[in-house]
Structure 1
């Protein structure tokens, strides 16, 4: 068995980003920008009013100013403001030549076409958006690795971008193994349990912006699992298997992986839950063999699969912790509200609730129990070498993505 830190480092070492692909800006939400974007022109391309009011020369603010002309947003012609004159101007309109300041319309007095400025706090250049204030021609506008959020797409559209190079999202196969599994809603026979892992994994994948998900199932049979795994590898970039990853008589994930050309990187981590975790690769595919117990599956997904997927999507905004990519699963330090005791030798991941700097471990920590996971908003990591954690201890927590 290897340590949690070693496992994360090995995954980091073997995961590479997906290929880049051109995509219309309107379809790029949730993807990661694959190349730096440079502004082609100044944005705004001209000095622009940020307020409805009057354009003036600041040095003439104490003089009576004759109102001449008007500038609207979208004005097609420029004009020059004569000395001791002011121009009516609206938000987004180009500033007349010669003007350098805009006075809010609420802070002037107009009588018979003559403007008097009443703003004692007026400063030079106020309410004027400078040319290139948003983006300067030739300057870096958005860096490679940026997540294309709604705000990012709006910014890029605002500087005239119509298409971006993005890192493709992987397609993911979920293979559920186990003869005892029954579809939710069907009647349970003796010895059966409802299958839930595909539901939690699919939901977690969708929250991570992975939408190409294919589902498979296989009984506890080596030949059947080998056929299913071979098919999943032929159609997907990543394969997640649940169950059958230990060393029991009916655990065939390791054998099926070898039979389909998957190279083992590691198997088994000194952790609880999720000790029998498998990670392997082919030249083009990534394979995770997750435990079968529902709580173990989701714990391992958050700690290992999610950061791997986000690195494949080139999601650079994840934190780097001790050289490891953590993706959207943000870490915090928190104060433990209740004491906790564990055995030495395994890192423990506890379902918990984080609130205002404090964290409380929940009951029902067993690997088959999902009731507490459904209430948790974070996971506590307790190092393998320590056993006693008194109330008031500072511990590391991982906040679940929403």
Structure 2
């Protein structure tokens, strides 16, 4: 078996596929990854801009300033000011070129067409310089940036309507097992409801991946082999759940080998997720995840999601990891393997949750992180600093 660190390094090293790109509308760009730098079309702000409601003035010898007029947001700044003169101005409005300060309205006393400034003035106070945020022709967002809502707002403010992005991969979720039946059917003795595909498709959708399909396979070697062959040919990433262990009816590994998939690793020294498989065939990445739901979801977050981001050219595909104090004592079960323990960050620390069984999803309902525990650790004590991996949940 290999370590979880080695497994992730191998996954990411085999995701260097030349991704397809296309130009899309900025409004559709959420969760895509930039395939090229975005260059600013303008200075931002495009003119000297008032940061406050108040008065733009040219600093004079006294605290008295004659009001010549006003400039609204969207107006023009053609008024010429001499020392001791001011204009009424509003937030976002263009500051006259001859003004050298904006005083907020709460700091003046108004007398007819004159204001008396109560506090000392400073050059450029409350004036946003032209190009303060970004200059025209500068890189607004770099290639490899994962687009978030704030990025869309920023680019829209620069007048950008279309961007070049990496195409999202086509993903197939393959579920195996004679014991599985769809939810809604009668549950005969010995059968269980199939939930992994619903879970993984929902999580993929939550993370911005909608080009997905679900394939169901019974525990039969020939049918498994042919279904996997066809699925791999049509998709960039194939996620198989179940059938990757070493039981008499676990045919996935044998079938993948028979159709020429190159096995990169099989089995990781971790809990949950020990039997995980990873392989490649031409451009397609194939994951074999455990059948137990919590183990499958853990392996998805730790290995599959980083690969999906790397496939799109993300600058950093790793899950964010921080160090936090532990909020509770915890006894590790099965400390001979590294463990990804479902946890919840709250306040200034992280709590390891109950319900860590690989078959139980309930703890994922409140988890927002994993606490990573290296192998051979048994006792974790409240207050100790632990490696905390943030889940990409929304």
Q: TM above 0.5, one fold?
A: yes
Superposed counterparts of 1:64-213, under 5 Å = 64-76=64-76, 78-113=78-113, 115-213=114-212
Report how far residue 180 of structure 1 moved. Answer: 0.6
Matching residue of 1:246: 245
Report how far residue 388 of structure 1 moved. Answer: 4.5
Aligned with 2:362: secondary structure?
coil
Matching residue of 1:255: 254
Report Cα offsets for 1:218-271 as digits up to 9, x if no partner.
100122122222232233211100111112221111222233332111111112
Given that 2:50 and 2:126 are in contact with CA atoms closer than 8 Å, whether structure 1 keeps it comes out as yes
Aligned with 1:261: secondary structure?
coil
- Give the Cα separation in 1 of the matches to 2:275 and 2:87: 75
Given that 2:279 and 2:285 are in contact with CA atoms closer than 8 Å, whether structure 1 keeps it comes out as yes
1:235 and 1:89, CA in 2 relative to 1: closer, same or farther beyond 3 A? same
Report how far residue 391 of structure 1 moved. Answer: 5.2
Report Cα offsets for 1:272-313 as digits up to 9, x if no partner.
221111101122111101111112111211221121112223
Superposed counterparts of 1:2-401, under 5 Å = 2-16=2-16, 18-60=19-61, 62=62, 64-76=64-76, 78-113=78-113, 115-316=114-315, 318=316, 325-327=317-319, 329-335=320-326, 337-343=328-334, 345-390=336-381, 393-401=384-392
Given that 2:48 and 2:129 are in contact with CA atoms closer than 8 Å, whether structure 1 keeps it comes out as yes
Report Cα offsets for 1:189-220 as digits up to 9, x if no partner.
12100111112212221222212121110100
- Give the Cα separation in 1 of the matches to 2:49 and 2:385: 52
- Give the Cα separation in 2 of the matches to 1:209 and 1:288: 19
Identify which range, 73-82 or 256-265, moves more after superposition: 73-82
Aligned with 2:60: secondary structure?
helix
1:298 and 1:95, CA in 2 relative to 1: closer, same or farther beyond 3 A? same
Identify which range, 286-295 or 40-49, moves more after superposition: 40-49
Report how far residue 47 of structure 1 moved. Answer: 1.4
Aligned with 1:132: secondary structure?
coil
Taking structure 1 as the reference length, the TM-score comes to 0.89
Gaps of at least 5 residues in structure 1 are 319-324
Report Cα offsets for 1:328-359 as digits up to 9, x if no partner.
x5343432622414445422233334434544
Given that 2:59 and 2:84 are in contact with CA atoms closer than 8 Å, whether structure 1 keeps it comes out as no
Gaps of at least 5 residues in structure 2 are none
Given that 1:33 and 1:166 are in contact with CA atoms closer than 8 Å, whether structure 2 keeps it comes out as yes
Given that 1:336 and 1:360 are in contact with CA atoms closer than 8 Å, whether structure 2 keeps it comes out as yes
Aligned with 2:165: secondary structure?
strand
Given that 1:377 and 1:399 are in contact with CA atoms closer than 8 Å, whether structure 2 keeps it comes out as yes
1:336 and 1:92, CA in 2 relative to 1: closer, same or farther beyond 3 A? closer
Given that 2:60 and 2:83 are in contact with CA atoms closer than 8 Å, whether structure 1 keeps it comes out as no
Aligned with 1:8: secondary structure?
helix
Matched residue count: 392
- Give the Cα separation in 1 of the matches to 2:120 and 2:193: 70
Taking structure 2 as the reference length, the TM-score comes to 0.91
RMSD: 2.4
- Give the Cα separation in 2 of the matches to 1:378 and 1:90: 45
- Give the Cα separation in 2 of the matches to 1:83 and 1:365: 72
